[in-house]
Chain A
Amino acid sequence: MGLLSRKATCNSHGQDSSYFLGWLEYEKNPYHHLHNPNGIIQMGLAENQLSFDLLETWLAKNPEAVGCKRDGQSIFRELALFQDYHGLPAFKKALVDFMAEIRGNKVSFEPNNIVLTAGATSANETLMFCLAEHGDAFLLPTPYYPGFDRDLKWRTGVQIVPIHCTSSNCFRITASAIEEAYQQAQKKNLTVKGILITNPSNPLGTTMTRPELNLLINFITDKQIHLISDEIYSGTVFNSPSFISIMEALKDMNMEKNNRVHIVYSLSKDLGLPGFRVGAIYSNDPTVVSAAVKMSSFGLVSSQTQYLLSVMLSDKKFRNHYIVKNQNRLLKRQRKLVSGLEKSGNRCLESNAGLFCWVDMRHLLSSDTFEAEMELWERIIYDVKLNISPGSSCHCNEPGWFRVCFANMSEDALELAMQRLKSFVGSIKKHNHQESEKLRKESHIGKWIFRLSFQSFNEQDQR
């Protein structure tokens, strides 16, 4: 008999993947503009650090919110005792208003249909527990956020079957890709319980098109399965085309009250508050809401935090101001990254949202293989000293794509990163040229030599 559970001793937390290993390497040698200017620059962390000043300014003008006071009276006692899993009513109201505003007020949300959870991590897992049995499957378009392997599968026993998307059509979801994934699941004897999409997409940084959304809605209706739309990046849409949320798509199809579509949200990306652990599930199905609310006992949001954010998000003027300013800054920063990458000959997938770009580095691969992608990734970590996320860790079907974040560092750090990359690409091109000259002259196959200090991606569950 094992001393510990299988869950505790297996690898399903997925944390041996390169996504997390890159973080570990960064932590051993983190860049600091003064103390460690040659350190690794973190470009693998999708955090929004661009708009803190706006939050800090608001806090300075609203000490009551952070001081647990209301109209001059301390409500500390009330908050300290408040552990009702239905959540602080004022906060839920402010949250749904904020969500509606992000969607241009084209849809509205009911506070009673929202369930608060400790971050989207908790929200996603809770939805799996509510919608699927151990051994059932959810279909996920690739590439997808590596953390899903842990969040959706680890403790729930649910399987993920990928819907393969390719660069040939800018990674858009097609009817045949969904059908194929569904068939794959059937072949493996897996009951498909639903599809989970991330819109705007992590790692692509694109918003879904209306045809894609309609396709998905029709598919789940036909198969009588669920659709979960993880919209945690909905507030980071900084460019056209504008964001079409799943709710809007449903409304336009007269299916607003559809009870098989559920949304996951969080304040970690839009407001840049991942430490506060504020996530939410939104559903029109009262049974899902009821079950999820009870499960939220395992990950409630601190009442101190609920109160602070209820005051902040109820401030309409601040809300509007923040959304607009934040989007402007994201746009500027993304443009800087895109042009910086272009200078080193790297193109990005055209994107209008998110905190990252999806970069085409296929031309830098020594061969069109995932081994070559790993070799390139290692060189970028150890030689160029940039932590970026390889596409294989996001289950991308084609080697050579990388996710590069732009909102979690200073402008100077970003510039330095671009310079480093430019030198690196220059040296590869020079080396490639010399190598092909050598090959031409000597018919000799050169070999790259790389340091390998971790498990190969081949040992992952699946690509």
Chain B
Amino acid sequence: MLSSKASCNSHGEDSSYFLGWQLYDNNPFHGVVNPTGIIQMGLAENQLSFDLVESWLRKNLDAMGLKKDGESVFREALFQDYHGLPAFKKELVEYMAKIRGNKVTFDPNNLVLAAGATSANETLIFCLVDPGQAILLPTPYYPGFNRDLKWRTGVEIVPVHCWSSNGFRITMSALEDAYQSAQTLNLKVKGVLITNPSNRLGTTMTREERSHLITFAIAKNIHIISDEVFAGTVFDSPGFISIMEAAMDRSLENENPGLWNRIHIVYSLSKDLGLPGFRVGMIYSNNETVVSAATRMSSFGLVSSQTQYLLSNMLANKKFTSKYMKENQKRLKRKKEMLVSGLRTSGMECLKSNAGLFCWVDMRHLLSSNTFEAETKLWKTILCEVGLNMTAGESCHCSEPGWLRVCFANKSQATVQIAMRRLRDFAER
């Protein structure tokens, strides 16, 4: 009666990633009301810097109220042009450049707005890949990609396996292996999608990795999609090098215009500014045809003009954005260090990270055996007995069992301390 899409599991929502959420929803921790509840450490949200945003809002009531200089601009409610509010796109590209240390500049005409990075990623896949073709993804990766990239597009994901032996860095041989796997499965590879900074690992890509990717993409004549939603969460050295900067360093615009036209960035305000509810995502591409097709497709997921208006005003305030970026990064670093040392006290080491809202934690020594079954058992124990919802590596397609992702930016200091105490007690047992 319904389509196969409606009745299948490709939305991936039966994975443990979502199961943990469900259990948490039934018994959520609250410092006062439910102190023994489950602490949510599986949600990569940035709640550390709301006060800065709220303080700006209090001083800028007009922007909230769809007013300008006291006059109503409510007619903006009519604005549904899929090219997006020009003022908003101008501020977005400037903000994006600022996050990248102004080492690159972006043209607002190459920016396409979408209802969140979820929509942006799916739209980009619809534009670049036909059903039955494939995209390479380094593991471990965000579980949501199974839904976003594959579900309605009919596209396949082929993993590029990364290992702890070299800090999960992407190697040339891993890329080649993935490409061969795709060939064996008769899948035409159209591109490689990287998340930089990495969602799972919390690391930024090295120069070597960037170089491998570019060389590989040139050789295979494929696209590079760089999901840079965590770009504004880089709180430590080494700094962040966007794919656009890498492309410029290699003078691709002149040396290899083919690849220059096959590089696309996905961005969003959900992680950096902590505004996932406002659904602000975007695609950036130097390729005119992609921009044109993606713009038309964005009809299926435009950003509310009310939200575009508010945020164009917020981002226009350069003093605010500078202060926000600096303070946000400071707080992220502090929270992360708190988590890392807390975990260390329980005998758990984290992958050395400099970005993101989470740590990638090595719990291999706690496994009863070097298997994913043992990992799932450990994850469930931590969820149900210790009362902490973390994300198991298997749900992120990690190639080795025993790694878990633990978020730190969505809770207070006190809550993190409680979580660490519980973990310590568990480890001691």
User: Does A49 contact B78, Cβ atoms closer than 8 Å?
Assistant: yes
User: Is B320 part of the contact surface with A, judged by Cβ < 8 Å?
Assistant: no
The one of B118, B127, B190, B294 in contact with A298, judged by C-beta atoms closer than 8 angstroms, is: B118
Q: In residues 100-146 of chain A, which contact B (Cβ within 8 Å)? A: 118-119, 121-122, 125, 129-134
A residues less than 8 Å from B115 (CB atoms): 118, 277, 298-300
A74–B58 alpha-carbon span in the complex (Å): 10
* Contacts A66-B65, A297-B147 given; does A77 touch B128 at CB 8 Å: no
Q: CB-CB < 8 A to B328: which residues of A? A: none
CB distance from B266 to the nearest CB of A (A): 14
Pick from A2, A8, A291: contact of B5, CB under 8 Å: A291
A273 partner, pick from B77, B118, B147, B290, beta carbons under 8 A:
B77
User: Shortest Cβ distance from B152 into chain A, in angstroms?
Assistant: 6
- The reply to whether the CB of A301 lies closer than 8 angstroms to some CB of chain B is yes
Once the chains bind, are A80 and B277 in contact (CB under 8 Å)? yes
Task: Judge whether A83 and B279 touch: CB under 8 Å.
Answer: yes
Tell which of A240-248, A302-310, A417-425 binds the partner.
A302-310
A56 touches B307 (CB 8 A): no
Contact yes or no, A125 B116, CB < 8 A: no
Q: Check: B177 CB closer than 8 A to any chain A CB.
A: no
Instruction: Identify A129's interface contact among B1, B5, B78, B261, CB under 8 A.
Output: B5
| A contact residues, total (Cβ < 8 Å) | 69
Residue A1 CB within 8 A of the other chain: yes
**Knowing A298-B300, A298-B301 touch, does A274 contact B130 (C-beta < 8 A)?**
no
> Residues of A contacting B333 with CB < 8 Å?
none
How many angstroms between the C-alpha atoms of A82 and B116 in the bound complex?
Answer: 13
- Residue B90 at the chain A interface, CB threshold 8 Å: no
Contact partner, B301, options A3, A74, A118, A130, Cβ 8 Å: A118
What is the 8 Å Cβ interface bit string for chain B, positions 51-95, against chain A (1 contact, 0 not)? 001100100010011100000101111111000000000000000
Residues of B within 8 Å of A254, CB to CB, are none
Please tell me which one of the listed residues B119, B221, B277 contacts residue A82 in the complex, with CB atoms under 8 A apart: B277
Q: Note all chain B residues with C-beta closer than 8 A to A74.
A: 54, 57
Closest-by-CB residue of B relative to A123 is B300
How many Å lie between the Cα of A79 and that of B130 in the bound state? 37
- Closest B residue to A10 using CB positions: B293
CB-defined interface of B290-325 with A at 8 Å, one 1/0 digit per residue?
Answer: 100110110111111111001000000000000000
- Contacting pair A291 B305 (CB below 8 A): no
Q: Which residues of A contact B27 (CB under 8 A)?
A: none
The answer to whether A76 touches B304, judged by C-beta atoms less than 8 angstroms apart, is no
Chain B residues numbered 154-213 whose CB sits less than 8 Å from any CB in chain A: 154, 188, 190
Contact assessment for A303 and B119 in the assembled complex, using a CB-CB cutoff below 8 Å:
no
Pick from B5, B119, B276: contact of A81, CB below 8 A: B276
Contact indicator B274/A80 (Cβ below 8 Å): yes
Interface centre among B129, B303, B307 (most CB of A within 10 A): B307
Q: Quick check: is B237 within 8 A (CB to CB) of the other chain?
A: no
Cβ B80 vs Cβ A131 within 8 A: no
Residues of B within 8 A of A297 (CB): 116, 118, 147-148
Instruction: Return chain B residues, CB-CB under 8 Å to A82.
Output: 277
Contact B77 A155 (CB under 8 A): no
Q: Chain B contacts of A15 at CB under 8 A?
A: 296
- Indicate if A294 sits at the interface (CB-CB under 8 A): yes
**B228 interfacial by beta-carbon distance below 8 Å:** no
A56 to B61, CA, bound (A): 16
Instruction: List A284-303 residues whose CB lies under 8 Å from chain B.
Output: 287-288, 291-292, 294-295, 297-303
Asked whether, in the complex, the Cβ of B276 is within 8 Å of the Cβ of A80, the reply is yes
**Which residues of A have CB within 8 Å of B262?**
3
B274 touches which of A81, A129, A133 (Cβ 8 Å):
A81
**With an 8 A cutoff between CB atoms, is A47 at the interface?**
yes
Q: CA–CA, A1 to B188, complex, Å?
A: 9
Interface status of A215 (Cβ within 8 A of chain B): no
Q: How far is the CA of A287 from the CA of B131 in the complex (A)?
A: 25
**Is A211 in contact with chain B by the CB < 8 A criterion?**
no
A190 within 8 A of B: no
B122 within 8 A of A: yes
Neighbouring B residues of A61 by C-beta, 8 Å: none
Q: Among B128, B302, B307, which residue has its beta carbon within 8 angstroms of that of A304?
A: B307
B128–A5 touching, CB < 8 Å = yes
Determine if B77 and A272 form an interchain contact, defined as CB atoms under 8 angstroms apart: yes
Identify the interface centre among B4, B80, B128: most chain A CB within 10 Å of its CB. Answer: B80
Determine how close the nearest CB of chain A comes to the CB of B392; give it in whole angstroms.
21
Contact between B279 and A300, CB atoms less than 8 A apart: yes
B64/A66 in contact, CB under 8 A = yes
Residue A36 lies at the interface, judged by CB distance under 8 Å to chain B: no
Compute how far the CA of A291 lies from the CA of B1 in the bound complex, rounded to whole angstroms.
13
Q: List the B side residues contacting A49 at CB < 8 Å.
A: 78
**A residues less than 8 Å from B23 (CB atoms):** none
Pair A4/B300 contact, Cβ less than 8 Å = no
Cβ-closest chain B residue relative to A275? B305
What are the interface flags for A203-216 relative to B under an 8 Å C-beta threshold, 1 for contact and 0 otherwise? 00000000000000
The answer to whether B304 touches A77 (Cβ under 8 A) is no
| Cα distance, A182 to B245, chains bound together (Å) | 56
B64's nearest neighbour on chain A, judged by CB, is A67
Determine if A125 and B79 form an interchain contact, defined as CB atoms under 8 angstroms apart.
no
Task: Output the least CB separation between B277 and chain A (Å).
Answer: 3
List 25 interface pairs A-B (beta carbons < 8 Å), by A numbering: A1-B221, A56-B72, A63-B61, A81-B45, A118-B301, A133-B3, A155-B297, A155-B300, A275-B77, A276-B77, A277-B303, A277-B304, A287-B6, A288-B2, A291-B7, A292-B6, A294-B11, A295-B11, A298-B115, A298-B119, A298-B148, A300-B116, A300-B279, A302-B279, A304-B310
Other than A130-B3, A272-B77, A297-B148, give 16 A-B pairs with Cβ distance below 8 A. Answer: A8-B293, A49-B78, A59-B66, A59-B74, A83-B276, A129-B5, A133-B4, A155-B300, A273-B78, A274-B77, A274-B78, A276-B305, A277-B302, A301-B304, A305-B304, A305-B306
Q: Closest 10 CB pairs between A and B?
A: A275-B305, A303-B277, A291-B6, A8-B293, A302-B304, A299-B301, A82-B277, A8-B127, A275-B79, A130-B6
